[in-house]
Structure 1
Amino acid sequence: MIPWLDAHTPFPDVSEALTTDAPGLLAAGADLSPARLLAAYQRGIFPWFSEGQPILWWSTDPRMVLMTDRFRVSDSLKKAIKKVQRSAADPDGGRWQVRFDSAFEDVMRACAEPRRDGPGTWISDDIIAGYTGLHQLGYAHSSELWLDGELVGGAYGVCIGRMFYGESMFARVTDGSKIALAYLVHFLKQNGVAMVDCQQETGHLASLGAAPIPRERFLQHLRANIGLPAISGWVPLQPYPRASD
Structure 2
Amino acid sequence: MQSPYAEDDLLGAESLAARAVRRRTGARFATAEDEVRRLLDAGLVLMRADAAGNPKIAEIVRLAKVSNDAFYRAFRSKDDLVAAIADDGARRLLGHLRHQCGKQTDPIEQVRACVQAVFKQAADPEVAATTRAVLRNTSRGAGSASSGIELRQRIAELLTTPLTACGSRDPARDALAASCAMFAVMEQFLWAERVPTAADVEHLIGWILPAAPDILRSE
More strand by share: 1
Higher relative contact order (CA 8 A, sep 6+): 1
TM-score where L is the length of structure 2:
0.26
Larger Rg: 2
